[in-house]
Structure 1
C-alpha cells in the first residue's frame, strides 16, 4: 500500500476471504495472503465480469489491476485462476478397453430400481467392458436424514452391503469393479473419505477394488479422478446460473480452481490435514462424479467431466425440492478414443442415447 504503487499496474495473489455484490452491481472481494488483506473491485461493465461473479469464498485467485489513490482498494483488470493449461492434451490408451461409469446405487432404499439394475447387469454380462467405476453412495445407509427408516426396505447397514456384494458377484469376473464411498456410505462424512471398511466387504467378489473419495485411478494409462461430488451443493448455491439440472457444468469450475471443494465451512465437511487431498493434481483425463442424481457430460480443455446419475427413482426429498433425477443411466467410455456413449436402462433393452 505504499504510495509509490498507486495508479500503477498492480498484481496480487491470495485466498478469497469474502465476496459480495455492491449496491451498484459490481463485485467486491477481500483477498488475503500471509502479509495481510486487500479489497478488490470487479467492475460490472468489464467483458470478463461473469468470471468475477463466480468467485467463491476460499478459492485462490490472482488479480491484475491498479490501486486506488488511498491505496486500500484494487480496481481489477484481469482475474487469474490455477486452471488447466491451454496446452493440456489428454492421454489415450494404446490398447482396446472400455470403462462404464455409474454412481448412487442406493441399495436398501425403497426407490432402488431393481428391474433396471438387472437389465444393466445382463447387458454387462454380454458386453466387452473391462472396468466398472462407481462414484459413491453404494448403499442408502442408515440415519443419513430424519425418518430415513420409513424409506428403507433394508434397515440393517451390514445387510445393505451384503446385498450389493451379491449383486456385483453376478457380474463377469473379468470386469474390475472400482468402488468409492459417498455421503450415504458407512464412512466418516468429512472429505477426503476413507475406503469402505473390510468388515462390510464379506460378500463382495475378488474383482472389487475399494478406494477412497476422492481417488485417482489409472486404467491403461487413462487417469480417472473419482469424486462423489458433495461440494456440488455449495458451488451450485454460490454461482449465478448454476443448477442441479446442469451440475456437470460445475466440473469445469472445479478444474479452473484445480480443487474439488474450494469452499470451507459450508455444507461440505472437510477434514483438517497437513496435505490438501482435494487439490486436482495431476490433471486427469476424466473427472467422474455423482451425488446430484442427474447425468451430464462436459469437456473443458481436453478434460472430460462425467456425472453418472443414479439407480434410484425420485425420492420424497427430491420431489419436495422439485429435482427430477435421471435414473438407470450408464456411461461407457472407450479408453482409446475417450468418446462416451450413454445407455438408458430404465425401460426395456438399452439403446445408446444421442449426445
Structure 2
C-alpha cells in the first residue's frame, strides 16, 4: 500500500480488508483507479465505498442492452498457403507480430541482430556488446539482448542449450544459472523470446543471464457496466456413448428454469468451446464408442439439444478437433452446408472459428478449443492434465495459442499467423482436456471448462481423470467465476 501513501492517501482498515480479497494483480490497479478519481486532500482516505463504486456494476433504471461484438474470427481470413513458402510466411508473420508486442518493453530498444552478436563473439570483443555503455536489466554493464523464435532446447552437462532464430541467423547459447535454466525449461518450443546474454560463466561462449517471454502485462480487466453472466462450456461430444446427455439436459433445464433464481435470469451468453460432436474417424476404432455413425445425425441431435437454450441467451460456438471441417489451426467455423445447417438455423446462435475473440458487454473473451495444450503439457516440466490452467498460462506468456510446430497440433501455413495473442483478453476460455480448472493470471481470468463426456477408454490408458458435467458461470460485472455441477 506504499503507492497510496506516496500519493498522500490513507486506506481505511475495512477498505484494506476488501483489497486483500482481490487478486494480487488487481490491488494496485484498483488503488490507482480510485486515486485518479479522487481529489487529493490533507487527510484523503480510500474507503470501502470507493472500492465498491469501482468494482460493482452501476445500477440503472431501465433494462440494459447486452452487447456482443466479434473482434476476431479466422473464418473469412483463411487462405492456406502451401509447402515451405507457406510456412516461411507463417513464421515470418509470427516473428513480426510478436516483435511488435516486445517493442512495448523498454528493454526492446537494446535488441541486437543475431548476426552482429555472432560477429562480435567471433572477434572475442565483449566491449562491442554494449557500445554505448548500456546497462543490463539488473543494472550491470556488459550484456546484450537478442530476440528470436526458439528453435531447439537441449539439456547438457553444464546447463540447457537453446537456439534462437531471427532474420539474420541462428544463435546457440547456454543457460547455466539455476534461474536461467528454470526459465528455459518453461518455454514453449517455437515461441518468441528475448534473451539477455553475457560472456561465458561456467560455459564457453555466450551464456544466458535472463529470459523474457512476450507475456501479458498486469492489467485491470474490463467489466460489464451491468450485472450479466456468461456460461462457459466445452466438449459435448454428442454422438459418443460417453456423452452425458442426462446431465446436459439437466443443465438446459436449469438455463430455462422459471424459479426465482436471480442469477439464471441474468445469464445472457453461452460460450461453447468446441467438440460439439464426437465426429467420425477421428481416432482408430472410434466406431466402437459411437451411438450415431453419421456426423450429420450427431450435429442434428446437438442442434435439437441447443435449441432448448432460451432465446434471450446469445450462443457462441467454435469448432474443436472432433467437429466437421478443417482440423489444422486456425479452424474456420463448422461448415454449414449439409453439416451444421440446424445449428446455423438457431436464431440466437453465432458460429465462429477457432480461435475467436469477442467482446461481451465490454469484457474481452478469447475462445480457443485448446488442441495445443497436449504439446505444452508434454514438453513443459511440472505440467499435467490435472491442472490445464497452468498450461494455458504458458500460452499467455508466449502470447501464442499454438507455438509448437511439428508435434500433435496441426498448424496450417497461413500467410498471417492468427494464433498470436495480439490483444490481452479479460477471460481466456479453452477446453479439449476435459478437466475443469479456473485461475487468474495478471488480471486475466483463465477458464478450462471441462466436458460433458465421461471418462473414455483412451483417457483411462493415459491416466486422465476428467471432471465432466460442470458449467463455469462468470459474472461479467465482477469477473468472479463459480462452478455449477450438474452431476
Which TM-score band applies after superposition, normalised by the shorter structure? over 0.9
* Structure in which a larger fraction of residues adopt helix: 2
Q: Which runs of 5+ in 2 are unaligned?
A: 1-118, 128-141, 258-263
Report the alpha carbon displacement of residue 202 of structure 1 after superposing the two structures with TM.
2.9
Q: Which has the larger radius of gyration?
A: 2
SS of match in other structure, 2:341? coil
Q: Which residue of 2 aligns with 1:258?
A: 399
2:5 paired residue number? none
Instruction: Give the 3-state SS of the residue equivalent to 1:50 in structure 2.
Output: helix
- Which residue among 370, 374, 379 is the counterpart of 1:229? 370
Moved more, 247-256 or 183-192: 247-256
Q: 2:132 is matched with which residue?
A: none
Matches within 5 A, 1:7-26: 8-24=142-158, 26=159
Q: Which residue of 2 aligns with 1:60?
A: 192
Counterpart position of 2:235 = 104
Q: Does 1:149 align with 2:281?
A: no
- Deviation (angstroms), 1:197: 1.2
Alpha-carbon distance in structure 1 between the residues aligned to 2:461 and 2:280: 21
CA contact (8 A) 1:224 1:287 kept: yes
Pick aligned residue for 2:171 from 38, 54, 58? 38
How far off its partner does 1:339 sit?
0.3
Counterpart check, 1:203 vs 2:342: yes
Distance 1:181 1:314 in 2: 21
The offset of 1:10, in angstroms, is 1.9
2-structure distance, mates of 1:120, 1:73: 60
Match of 1:349 in 2: none
Once the two structures are superposed, what CA deviation does each residue of 1:48-107 show, in whole Å capped at 9, x if it has no partner? 5322211232111111121349x9832111111111123x22100101210000000000
- How far did residue 274 of structure 1 move? 1.3
For residues 205 and 395 of structure 2, what CA distance do their matches in structure 1 show? 28
TM-score, structure 1 as length reference: 0.93
Q: Kindly tell me the number of residue pairs found equivalent between the two proteins.
A: 342
2:233 pairs with 1:95: no
Measure, in 1, the Cα distance between the counterparts of 2:443 and 2:209. 27
Structure 1: gaps (5+ residues): 347-355
Whole-Å separation in 2 of the counterparts to 1:11 and 1:4:
17
Give me the CA root mean square deviation.
1.6
User: Where does 1:108-147 land on structure 2 (aligned, <5 Å)?
Assistant: 108-126=239-257, 127-128=264-265, 129-147=267-285
1:299-310 → structure 2 map (5 Å cutoff): 299-310=440-451
Alignment of 1:265-284 (within 5 A): 265-284=406-425
Higher strand proportion (structure 1 or 2) = 1
TM-score, normalised relative to structure 2: 0.68
Q: Does residue 1:83 correspond to 2:253, yes or no? A: no
Structure-1 residue corresponding to 2:15: none
